[in-house]
Structure 1
């Protein structure tokens, strides 16, 4: 049995840009879109064209500049929005309109002051209208995470009847537990007529830190597309992180799924998005944080030096990093100190290393981190303490 492809739908330029303080200009959006194409994403959600002239222009320019991915434009379930989205996509080699409406009791009552019957009618008619412009129509059932499964199934059946090709099941508020979200996808797979004629998509938010886990459970229960962002940026606490979900898929071969992502470009793409958006990546962020492949504890450093897999399940080269980092602090041991000196071209006898290590510890206790230049200075201090110090320099 062959592996199933999981399509990667990147919404960095739409949902990701909705972060307060994150505003990209048209040139920056095109540059990011080109990098997403190199990265291997299948669908780029380029923006929400009806929201502003700038977003409309950006979608158009991305359509002109990107060739392989499907270019997707968001719209509300409003005819004018759909028309604007369609016009913005006129230069796309492959175009998709992403339209939809809220389906939870909360959204129906308080956001729309409407009824379930009316929502069903709007959902169906919006897909039918969008179908007049492009063949590929994705429907989003906003707040599906809090939507009753039976009603959600009815919505799915209606949009399938009217030509939807993809159905997005968003956990808009990050409310679901992984098993709940997985069961929701499973319920739809088992209870919606002709569900297997469309692609089910996950779109999970990280309000409780469960976005990636929920997306994974969606995949395990039949979803074939994941909506995500670089560095996990997005509304409030963010979205499913592209680098996390793709590396989970890469690591766990027994999931029997794959993506087209060139993971060796992940860290470069992360840095590019961080630079343009001004959104710094937290140091302990999985995969792309600066500490993700860094080690400062002596026990860990010794293990990594002997065999990387003792403390790393991912090869840093797989995400575009040359090597793991051995960070020297007061918690570092002799093996880490010798390793770093060897990188600088020095080697020592055991007795010599003991003397240097005592000097190093005294210095490291007063400083957070010891850099290469400081290591060279410490050698001079150690030599002053012991004139007989045997230091071999081999570079």
Structure 2
């Protein structure tokens, strides 16, 4: 690409290496989650939510299980002010839930914020000012000491107005644009604020370190977090929080490594909505933890209902390939993937294992309200025999022999390729019924009678060219006798017959289904299936179906059979 020399790394590594986080394998417990959907997420919408929509979204966040919810910037607009007052005055905030509000370090804004908070049972007041080199030089044109003074004066104002306002308040400070700030300077600002607030075990404060703009690889952010965690004053009384954005597409990785590095709290949004490329996606973070056997303390058991409400209220859509939540993320179209998943699911049923370990599926889709049927395996021209067979078995109870699955797979793929579309289960079933089941032309089976002496003597009635005929033959079984009728009386040659049958438990419990395959006159393998209340009759129908498929596919003349109808 052109202009690569225009760019330089704008982040700052800690003055000493902080790599203890690399020794940890995974996150062992859920952080405190704070949803910022109603502030950071809402301000990023093309059409911000109305008061009524925000109230409905707030209820959604409660249902998911958030105990801390940032509800807005009440000094910024009348809608956000009214929203907070409605929550407080109508007693809509559960006792175990803390609301959070954002404020700049400016006297009149802080005053307005506390006015909106009057009577709040529990609230976090989130103070911020930007500390990065770019903001100091280009926006505020202030020295480091002047930037510190903005933070310190804001911290003092929070104390002043909290003392004058009815309610229960906790303080939070963010050095905005932390990732573009020299780490030593960010530490100094935070410690100066902490010196004002003097946190205690009973009155902890939150220091939030936002990747306002993601500027580095995740391991750098983790090192920055670890350095801050180890050098903050009053550390035992500080809740260290993260607020990653996703500019580099690494928001989830930033948060995960940041938690390994000492963070105890994460601010983010459902599905990653937020400014520019978005905030960190709490859905992905939480279910990532779930996939490691760690309870995230949030409820995504009905992900489709959550998506439906989210899309209605934000007017945004969840991408089909969004981790865990996307419509297609548990779906396999590839034949090899489908085959592995189908075998894995069957193995799991047979082995009854406690722990989930199905190929290609990180978690059990049912744990978040997704269904196997229609979710995991879907069929198009790229699909294989395993997936197609799985669809028939799961939806219709048809357990095809392995080789028949292969033959039928080609039929389905050809239809999908020709029509250039995905095929639904009912369409796959219709193809199977049309091409394999109870085929009656050109040789139609009508009935049979059988008696057993040394062998089975069997008479078979058939119809060809609208005329009925009866033939008699013997064999070591009923199906063998009927097979001999076809071969000796009608001169229809085949060998290596394969046979399978089972009860048809889905749809009609009174039916049986049989499958017959053989090698035909031309060396190709042909298949047929029969469905009938009588298991033996279903087998005969399967044999005739395979014979008819051979005659039709190979365009066989069957002169002897046809001559019978002329005499």
- TM-score, length-scaled by structure 1: 0.91
2:73, 2:81 within 8 Å by CA — same for their partners in 1? yes
Tell me, in whole angstroms, the C-alpha distance in 2 between the residues paired with 1:266 and 1:98.
30
Alpha-carbon distance in structure 2 between the residues aligned to 1:127 and 1:387: 87
Note closer, same or farther for the CA distance 1:318–1:248 as it changes in structure 2 (3 Å cut): same
Asked if residue 363 in structure 1 is aligned to residue 415 in structure 2, the reply is yes
Q: Report SS of the residue matched to 2:287.
A: helix
How far apart, in 2, do the equivalents of 1:258 and 1:185 lie? 24
Query: What is aligned with 1:139?
Result: 173
Structure with the largest fraction of helix: 1
Listed one character per residue, the Cα deviations across residues 45-89 of structure 1 (whole Å, up to 9, x for unaligned) are 111112210111122234432313210111111122222222223
Cα distance between partner residues in 1 of 2:408 and 2:288: 42
Question: Which segment is superposed worse, 268-277 or 282-291?
Answer: 268-277
Describe the SS at the equivalent of 1:291.
Answer: coil
Does residue 25 (structure 1) correspond to residue 50 (structure 2)? The answer is: yes
1:7 aligns with 2:32: yes
Alpha-carbon distance in structure 2 between the residues aligned to 1:385 and 1:360 = 18
**Distance in 1 between residues matched to 2:184 and 2:400, nearest whole Å:** 73
Query: Retained in 1: the 8 A contact 2:219–2:257?
Result: yes
Q: Do the aligned residues in 2 keep the contact of 1:34 with 1:66 (CA within 8 Å)?
A: no
Q: Structure 1 residues 272, 344: CA separation in 2 closer, same or farther (over 3 Å shift)?
A: same
Match of 1:123 in 2: 151
Indicate conservation of the 8 Å contact 1:348/1:390, yes or no: no
Q: CA deviation at 1:266?
A: 4.3
- d(CA) in 2 for partners of 1:305, 1:240: 34
Q: Deviations over 1:289-331 (max 9, x none)?
A: 1111111111111111122521111121232323342110112
Count of residues in Structure 1 that have an aligned counterpart in Structure 2: 390
C-alpha separation between the residues in 1 aligned to 2:282 and 2:307? 10
Q: Specify whether residues 392 and 117 from structure 1 end up closer, same or farther in structure 2 by C-alpha distance, changes over 3 A only.
A: farther
Distance 1:260 1:170 in 2: 23
CA distance in 2, matches of 1:349, 1:259: 41
C-alpha spacing 1:263/1:187, structure 2 compared with 1 (3 Å)? same
1:106 to 134, 147, 150: 134
Change (3 A) 1:177 1:358: closer
CA distance in 1, matches of 2:295, 2:233: 27
Unaligned regions of 5+ residues in structure 1, if any?
none
Taking only aligned residues, the RMSD between alpha carbons, in angstroms, comes to 2.4
Q: Aligned ranges for residues 240-255 of structure 1 at < 5 Å? A: 240-252=280-292
> Over residues 9-39 of structure 1, what are the superposed CA-to-partner deviations in whole Å (9 max), with x where a residue is unaligned?
1111111112241421111111111121121
Shift, 1:372, TM fit: 2.7
- Gap change, CA 1:316 and 1:51, over 3 Å in 2: same
Q: How does 1:243-282 map to 2 (within 5 A)?
A: 243-252=283-292, 259-282=296-319
- Which residue of structure 2 lines up, in the alignment, with residue 310 of structure 1? 359
The answer to which of 52-61 and 244-253 deviates more is: 244-253
Q: Which residue of 1 is the match for residue 487 of structure 2?
A: none
CA separation of 1:176/1:327 partners in 2, compared to 1, >3 Å: closer, same or farther? same
Deviations 1:226-277 (A, max 9, x none): 1110010100000110011112222335xxx754212324443233212211
Q: Which residue of 2 aligns with 1:210?
A: 250
By relative contact order (CA 8 Å, sep 6+), the higher-ranking structure is 1
Shift of the 266–114 alpha-carbon distance from structure 1 to 2, 3 Å rule, reads: farther
Please name the residue that 2:427 is paired with.
374
The equivalent position to 2:323 in structure 1, one of 286, 293, 298, is 286
Alignment correspondent of 2:529 = 390
Would you say 1:341 and 2:378 are equivalent positions?
no
> Unpaired runs of 5+ in structure 2?
1-26, 163-167, 200-204, 346-357, 442-527, 534-567
- Aligned counterpart for 1:46 among listed residues 53, 65, 71: 71
* Worse-superposed segment, 138-147 or 243-252: 243-252
Please tell me whether the aligned partners of residues 229 and 241 of structure 1 are also in contact (alpha carbons under 8 angstroms). yes
Tell me if the contact between 1:347 and 1:391 (Cα under 8 Å) persists in the aligned partners. no
Q: How does 1:55-204 map to 2 (within 5 A)?
A: 55-63=80-88, 64-67=91-94, 68-131=96-159, 132-133=161-162, 134-163=168-197, 165-204=205-244
2: CA distance between counterparts of 1:3 and 1:362? Answer: 49
Check whether the contact 2:73–2:103 (CA below 8 A) recurs between aligned residues.
yes
Q: Is 1:236 the counterpart of 2:276 in the alignment?
A: yes
In 2: Cα distance, 1:52 partner to 1:80 partner: 14
Contact 1:76/1:82 (8 A) holds in 2: yes
Q: How far, CA to CA, are the matches of 2:308 and 2:532 in structure 1?
A: 36
- Tell me, yes or no, if the aligned pair for 2:48 and 2:314 is still in contact at 8 Å: yes
SS in 1 for 2:398: strand
**Is the radius of gyration larger for structure 1 or structure 2?**
2
CA–CA distance in structure 1, aligned partners of residues 150 and 325 of structure 2: 41
Name the SS of the counterpart of 1:17 in structure 2: helix
Structure 1 residue matching 2:383: 3-state secondary structure = coil
Q: Is the 8 A contact 1:10 1:228 kept in 2?
A: yes
